[in-house]
Amino acid sequence: MTDTSTTQVRVRATPEIRRARIAGIILLVMAAFVFWFFGLKVMGDLNATFKLTLPTDKIQDIKMILNTRTLAFVVAGVLAFLSGVQLRKSTEKRTNMAVGVGFFFFIFAFLAWAAAGKSFSLVGMLRSTVILSIPVTLGALSGIMCERVAVINIGIEGQLLASAFTATILGSAFGLWAGVVGALVVGSLLGLFLAWLAIKYQVDQIIAGVTINIFALGITSFMAARVLRKAQHLNSSPQFPAIKIPFLADIPLLGSMFFNHNFFIYLTFLLVIVLHIAFFHTRWGLRSRSVGEHPRAADTVGINVFATRYRNVILGGLMAGVGGAFLSLTQVSRFEENMTAGIGYIGLAAMIFGRWKPFGALAAGLVFGFARALQQKLGILATPIPSEFLLMTPYLVTIIVVAGVVGKATPPAADGQPYLKE
Amino acid sequence: MTESTDTNLTNPEKSPPEKPPSNLFARITGINTGWIRSLLIPTLALLVALIFGAVFVALTDLEALALLKEDFGGGLRLMAEGVGLAYKALFTGAFGSVYGLSETLFAATPLLLTGLAVALGFRAGLFNIGANGQMLIGGMAALWVALHLNLPGFIHIPLAILAAIIGGALWGGISGLLKAITGAHEVITTIMLNFIAFFLVEYLLTVPVFQEAGKINPISEFVPLSARFPQVFGADYRVSIGLLIAVAAAIFVSWLLFRSSWGFEFRAVGFNPTASRFAGMKVQSLLVLVMGFSGALAGIAGANQVLGFSPYQVTSAFAGTIGFDAIALALLGQSHPVGVVWAALLFGALKAGGRAMQASAQIPLDLVVVIQALIIVFIAAPELVRAIFRVKPPEKEKTQITKGWGG
């Protein structure tokens, strides 16, 4: 008896131990890299200056000055310690957390290396991280709304693009709020279209989503070339102003990062919280999730599977509509052909990286936004690292996550399968 | 059926009585009309898509819309004239002249290759959205051979194509391998690999190995004469040996799918992976193989984009949206090599005609993209078309290609 139980335990623990081993090796390689490349290869007397305040802030001139080499040695030590924990024989490892912390320190050492002997506006980069994360997070929320009820939404990109287009035109013609309403309506309609194809006609959901993307790209480019070129006044939308939150906006660093933005950014944070509560602490959420995990069982207990799916997929389109409005009413006033340029796909990636959870989506959005902001700022620092490789990170990270190298992502059980009533 | 009467008596349910053909034409003439029926939905889908396209053209005609307020009939007439002009330009641009026909064939070449790539995946139950990425990597591999090996044309070109095949196969194979080992869904991995390939190419075009000397923007060196695809109808027409390669690829895929044992296994896995596994097929390695073949076909398309036409110099945009057009194409061709050939000709015609339409009637080429998207909708949801035209449904139907992310 004892024999079988121990083998069972070992069999169950194997994937986690293997993952911990991989993580340990990766962390060790990172530690060696930091020690040698950011530490030993850098001149000892170089300091990196990080600016923590913007010139417009109330409190001025807070800086963090760090010696690049010393920091690299410290970080290498931390990474080596984390690696040791992962490679040690024990059951309690917290692999994902260790990898996350490890990457955080690695990036820190990297920034100090990139800014060695220079001054770098850390606050500026973190502020653009938050801004760049918003459309990605909203795209991911759209994906979550749909996939939690087992409808795959590959069409996020198209929903973003079409609603951004509508927001530009209506915003230019009738003002800001008309643009917002238009974007929400178009996003929801494309959600309805996806739901209709997926539920009524049981069209392969990936094909339905791809169609939305191709259609949105085609129709917006067509309209932009045929209509907007002649009617320029429809292609200059007003912009939402930033709303400073009293007191909080004056906190150094955090104030600029989080509390001095236009309302979309606050709305996104609010949506993340609301959706988290809705999905995991309300009856609606339980019903939605049951439809995504086991639609037949949900149907048996009296939940209307089709209605739930329609409602959530339309709401998902609505989230993408918010994202589209954000893109054209806060960042640029002109609609450009294919202006989303893959943000919807990054949103899809963020949904998977965030494991189909609203807070996960936000965290993933921030990580991907950080990669983007870093790419933009590294040009200023003139590092020898090609920016293309940073632009690849969201996609690479997603492949690593879906492949389960570090932490497996498990989608809702019935994801992508049409439901047929018996 | 006559000789089976004896068995019918002993075991009645084994062979049910043959049904009379359902359709009147077949009942009278005795000709099997199955293949005509299979053309019905695609034809109607195209028709409806063109009608929708016409509506979009009419509704975006600003002059006609302005006239509509004063003179309703006149406005409508102006709209109709605009649509007529556009579709006339589309048709004559694709079929109206020898040059138009050659442009159709020219545009069909990469579409055929990528369409075959996607169709092959569909047959094995894999959704390859990554044809674009595989084209990019295959094209870059071909470009490397073209730029860095100094060889006579008859060996230089085949070698460059071979490099494209290897490049595309490896890039596609990554998704197959990930699916086989970890169960990662190929839709996700191929989408992500598209972007990775794009940024990789952007980067590679800025390093001296590929970049034109003295340039700052990502653009390649000119392909040397010995590696350029020869034109088959003379210098006036852009059709190159790429077309012949694409046709050869279609014949090869046809043979592979329906005459080889690998093809049998591919189709078996696509039909029922569990049963295939129990029948002793190595499903895991088949997945890698299918994605490899699929990527190789897309890779050849990449070589065609790089070596096949003037200016024989590329930017990172050389794959365009061809990999996505290919999905529509494979669906329209019902994942059959012959169907894909016809679909590629149709899409080639739309593209060539669309360019002519843009030039002469000032209708943006993007209209073609809209029409293609609508075609997919109507092919993927044939019930929609049937509802519009009141066509009776056939006996069997429905193919769901992808199954959830879980894999």
Residue A228 in this model has a pLDDT that exceeds 90? no
Where residue B14 falls among pLDDT bands split at 50, 70, 90? very low
In angstroms and rounded to an integer, the radius of gyration of the C-alpha atoms of chain A is 24
Residues B242-291 have pLDDT tens digits of 999 999 999 999 999 999 999 999 999 888 888 888 888 888 899 999 99
Q: Do A388 and B199 touch (CB under 8 A)?
A: yes
Six token digits for residue B15: 């062979």
Say if residues A145 and A312 touch (Cβ distance below 8 Å). Answer: yes
Residue A286 in this model has a pLDDT that exceeds 70? yes
Which residue from B minimizes the CA distance to A342?
B195
Q: Using an 8 Å CB-CB cutoff, list chain B residues near A140.
A: none
Residue B21 in this model has a pLDDT that exceeds 70? no
Enumerate the H helices of A304-412 as residue ranges. Answer: 305-326, 343-353, 358-381, 387-402
Which residue from A minimizes the CA distance to B189?
A399
Can you say how many angstroms the Cα of residue A65 is from the centroid of all Cα atoms in its chain? 30
CB atoms within 10 A of CB A89: 5
- Measure CB to CB from residue A352 to each of B188, B364, B384 and give the nearest one: B188
Where residue B3 falls among pLDDT bands split at 50, 70, 90? very low
Residue A97 in this model has a pLDDT that exceeds 90? no
Best A148, A201, A222, A375 residue to mutate vs chain B (most B CBs within 10 Å): A222
Q: Do B196 and A396 touch (CB under 8 A)?
A: yes
pLDDT (0 to 100) of residue B32: 55
Q: Using an 8 Å CB-CB cutoff, list chain A residues near B178.
A: 399, 402-403
CA dihedral A159, A161, A165, A171 (to 10 degrees): 70
Pick the closest to residue B98 from B245, B236, B246 (CA basis): B236
Q: Using an 8 Å CB-CB cutoff, list chain A residues near B83.
A: none
Lowest-pLDDT choice from A2-11, A120-129, A286-295 = A2-11
CA dihedral B24, B30, B35, B37 (to 10 degrees): 0
Rounded to an integer, what distance in angstroms lies between the CA atom of residue A22 and that of residue A30? 12
Rounded to an integer, what distance in angstroms lies between the CA atom of residue A174 and that of residue A167? 10
Buried b (16+ CB within 10 A) or exposed e, A145-179: bbbbbbbbbbbbbbbbbbbbbbbbbbbbeeebebb
Q: Do A205 and B402 touch (CB under 8 A)?
A: yes
* Residue B247: its H or E element: helix B241-259
Residues A301-333 have pLDDT tens digits of 999 999 999 999 999 999 999 999 999 998 787
Say if residues A272 and A264 touch (Cβ distance below 8 Å). Answer: no
Six token digits for residue A21: 């081993």
Task: State the smallest CA–CA distance between residue A309 and chain B in angstroms.
Answer: 16
Q: Using an 8 Å CB-CB cutoff, list chain A residues near B129.
A: 206, 210
Residue B205: DSSP 8-state? T
Rounded to an integer, what distance in angstroms lies between the CA atom of residue A8 and that of residue A2? 10
- Measure CB to CB from residue B195 to each of A208, A218, A395 and give the nearest one: A395
Q: Using an 8 Å CB-CB cutoff, list chain A residues near B376.
A: 207, 210-211, 214
**Residue A119: strand, helix, or coil:** strand
Q: Do A403 and B184 touch (CB under 8 A)?
A: yes
Report the Cα–Cα distance between both ends of chain B, in Å, rounded.
43
Average pLDDT, chain A: 86
Residues B33-92 have pLDDT tens digits of 566 667 788 888 889 999 999 999 988 888 888 888 888 888 888 888 889 999 999 999
* Residue A120: its H or E element: strand A119-121
- Measure CB to CB from residue B376 to each of A207, A345, A395 and give the nearest one: A207
Q: Using an 8 Å CB-CB cutoff, list chain B residues near A410.
A: 406
Rounded to an integer, what distance in angstroms lies between the CA atom of residue A260 and that of residue A143? 28
For chain B, give the percent of residues with pLDDT over 90.
54
Class of residue B71 by CB neighbours under 10 A (exposed 0-12, middle 13-18, buried 19+): exposed
Range of the domain at B167: 99-354
Query: What is the CATH number for B199?
Result: 1.10.3470
Six token digits for residue A201: 């006609």
Q: Is residue B192 part of a domain?
A: yes
pLDDT (0 to 100) of residue A388: 86
Q: Do A222 and B366 touch (CB under 8 A)?
A: yes
The amino acid at residue B311 is P
Residues B348-368 have pLDDT tens digits of 999 999 999 998 888 899 999
Specify the long-range contacts of residues B155-162, CB closer than 8 Å, at least 24 apart.
B156/B226, B156/B227, B157/B226, B157/B227, B157/B229, B157/B241, B157/B307, B160/B227, B160/B303, B160/B307, B161/B245, B161/B300, B161/B303
Q: Do B372 and A218 touch (CB under 8 A)?
A: yes
Rounded to an integer, what distance in angstroms lies between the CA atom of residue A365 and that of residue A380? 23
Q: Is residue B83 part of a domain?
A: no
pLDDT (0 to 100) of residue B73: 84
Write down the domain spans for chain A.
2-117, 124-402
Phi, psi at B286, each rounded to 5°: -65, -40
Task: State the smallest CA–CA distance between residue A159 and chain B in angstroms.
Answer: 14
Sign of CA dihedral B125, B126, B132, B136: negative
Q: Give the distance between the most distant pair of CA atoms in chain B.
A: 86
Can you say how many angstroms the Cα of residue B147 is from the centroid of all Cα atoms in its chain? 29
Residue A1 in this model has a pLDDT that exceeds 70? no
Q: Do A197 and B381 touch (CB under 8 A)?
A: yes
Residues A291-301 have pLDDT tens digits of 999 999 999 99
Best A210, A220, A408 residue to mutate vs chain B (most B CBs within 10 Å): A210
Angstrom distances, CA of residue B362 to CA of A216, A223, B318, B354, B367: 21, 12, 24, 10, 11
* Residue A51: its H or E element: strand A47-51
Say if residues B78 and B61 touch (Cβ distance below 8 Å). Answer: yes
Average confidence (pLDDT) over A187-215: 91
CB atoms within 10 A of CB B239: 23
Q: Are strands A260-261 and A243-244 parallel, antiparallel or unpaired?
A: antiparallel
Q: Do A222 and B327 touch (CB under 8 A)?
A: no
- Measure CB to CB from residue A215 to each of B364, B368, B370 and give the nearest one: B370
Best A219, A232, A234, A293 residue to mutate vs chain B (most B CBs within 10 Å): A219
pLDDT (0 to 100) of residue B1: 36
Sign of CA dihedral A339, A345, A351, A354: negative
For chain A, what's the residue count?
Answer: 422
pLDDT (0 to 100) of residue A92: 66
Rounded to an integer, what distance in angstroms lies between the CA atom of residue A77 and that of residue A94? 19
Angstrom distances, CA of residue B259 to CA of B120, B253, B254: 14, 10, 8
Say if residues B378 and B45 touch (Cβ distance below 8 Å). Answer: yes
Q: Using an 8 Å CB-CB cutoff, list chain B residues near A225.
A: 364, 366
Average pLDDT, chain B: 86
Can you say how many angstroms the Cα of residue A148 is from the centroid of all Cα atoms in its chain? 17
Which residue from A minimizes the CA distance to B400?
A204
CB atoms within 10 A of CB B246: 25
Residue B31 in this model has a pLDDT that exceeds 80? no
Q: Do A203 and B200 touch (CB under 8 A)?
A: no
Is CATH 3.30.70 what the domain over A124-402 is classified as, yes or no? no
Residue B394 in this model has a pLDDT that exceeds 70? no
Residue A405 in this model has a pLDDT that exceeds 90? no
pLDDT (0 to 100) of residue A2: 44
Q: Do A342 and B206 touch (CB under 8 A)?
A: no
Q: Using an 8 Å CB-CB cutoff, list chain A residues near B56.
A: 219, 222
Task: State the smallest CA–CA distance between residue A213 and chain B in angstroms.
Answer: 9
Residue B27 in this model has a pLDDT that exceeds 70? no
Six token digits for residue B125: 């139950």
Best B85, B128, B366, B388 residue to mutate vs chain A (most A CBs within 10 Å): B366
Q: Using an 8 Å CB-CB cutoff, list chain B residues near A398.
A: 188, 192
Best A402, A408, A420 residue to mutate vs chain B (most B CBs within 10 Å): A402
CA dihedral A248, A252, A256, A258 (to 10 degrees): -50
Higher pLDDT, A85 or A281: A281
Can you say how many angstroms the Cα of residue B404 is from the centroid of all Cα atoms in its chain? 24
pLDDT (0 to 100) of residue A13: 53
Q: Is residue B245 part of a domain?
A: yes
Q: Using an 8 Å CB-CB cutoff, list chain A residues near B195.
A: 342, 345, 392, 394-395
Q: Is residue B331 part of a domain?
A: yes
Q: Do A230 and B404 touch (CB under 8 A)?
A: no
Where residue A41 falls among pLDDT bands split at 50, 70, 90? confident
Residues A319-378 have pLDDT tens digits of 999 999 999 998 787 888 888 888 999 899 899 888 899 999 999 999 889 888 888 887
Q: Using an 8 Å CB-CB cutoff, list chain B residues near A414.
A: 404
Where residue B396 falls among pLDDT bands split at 50, 70, 90? low
Pick the closest to residue B99 from B214, B237, B209, B224 (CA basis): B237
Q: Using an 8 Å CB-CB cutoff, list chain B residues near A231.
A: 62
pLDDT (0 to 100) of residue B203: 93
Q: Is residue B373 part of a domain?
A: no
Q: Do B369 and A413 touch (CB under 8 A)?
A: no
**Residue A64: strand, helix, or coil:** strand
Q: Is residue B196 part of a domain?
A: yes
Residue A407 in this model has a pLDDT that exceeds 80? no
Q: Using an 8 Å CB-CB cutoff, list chain A residues near B203.
A: 386, 388-389
Pick the closest to residue B340 from B322, B326, B321 (CA basis): B326
The amino acid at residue A24 is G
Residues A237-262 have pLDDT tens digits of 888 888 888 888 888 888 888 888 88
Q: Do A214 and B405 touch (CB under 8 A)?
A: no
Beta bridge partners of A51: A63, A121
Q: Do A402 and B182 touch (CB under 8 A)?
A: yes
ipTM for the whole complex: 0.84
Residue A5 in this model has a pLDDT that exceeds 50? no
Best B90, B174, B178, B191 residue to mutate vs chain A (most A CBs within 10 Å): B191
Phi, psi at A403, each rounded to 5°: -75, -10
Average confidence (pLDDT) over B388-401: 63
Enumerate the H helices of A60-154 as residue ranges. Answer: 68-87, 95-114, 122-147
Rounded to an integer, what distance in angstroms lies between the CA atom of residue A181 and that of residue A243? 20
- Measure CB to CB from residue B60 to each of A226, A391, A410 and give the nearest one: A226
Residues B304-361 have pLDDT tens digits of 999 998 889 999 999 888 998 999 889 888 889 999 999 999 999 999 999 999 988 8
Q: Do B192 and A219 touch (CB under 8 A)?
A: no
Average confidence (pLDDT) over A36-58: 81
- Measure CB to CB from residue B192 to each of A222, A349, A410 and give the nearest one: A349
- Measure CB to CB from residue A222 to each of B199, B364, B381 and give the nearest one: B364
The amino acid at residue B100 is G
Which residue from B minimizes the CA distance to A207?
B380
Tally the domains of chain B: 1
Six token digits for residue A213: 């993307």
